[in-house]
Structure 1
């Protein structure tokens, strides 16, 4: 599932780094913390690898 915004892509990247052990999980906040707990490594890789170009900074809630 590709990221819908730049903020979502960045949060997925932070969660992925924590899953890989590149940064402590205690440093995660908000969306990245919940992503790290609820998503698999493959899902995070797909979301984090989405190009940021052309994506809005944030997407409003529906």
Structure 2
């Protein structure tokens, strides 16, 4: 499942880093903390590896 925005891709990267032990879980905030708790490492990889070119900064509400 590819990321729908740059913000989502960035949050998934932060959560993946914590899952792998590269960063501390206590340093996660907001969406990345929720992603860490609810998603597997493979799911986070799928979102984090999405190319950023062409993605909106934030997902629109529509």
Band the TM-score falls in, shorter-chain normalisation: over 0.9
The number of residues matched between the two structures is 62
TM-score (norm 1): 0.96
The runs of 4+ residues in structure 1 deviating greater than 4 Å are none
Q: What aligned pairs does 1:27-38 form with structure 2 within 5 A after superposition?
A: 27-38=27-38
Give the Cα separation in 2 of the matches to 1:21 and 1:28: 12
User: Which residue number in structure 1 is paired with residue 6 of structure 2?
Assistant: 6
Alignment partner of 2:47: what SS? helix
TM-score (norm 2): 0.96
Deviation by residue 1:1-53 (Cα, 9 ceiling, x = unmatched): 10000000000000000000000000000000000000000000000000000
User: Which residue number in structure 2 is paired with residue 44 of structure 1?
Assistant: 44
Alpha-carbon RMSD: 0.7
Q: Which runs of 5+ in 2 are unaligned?
A: none
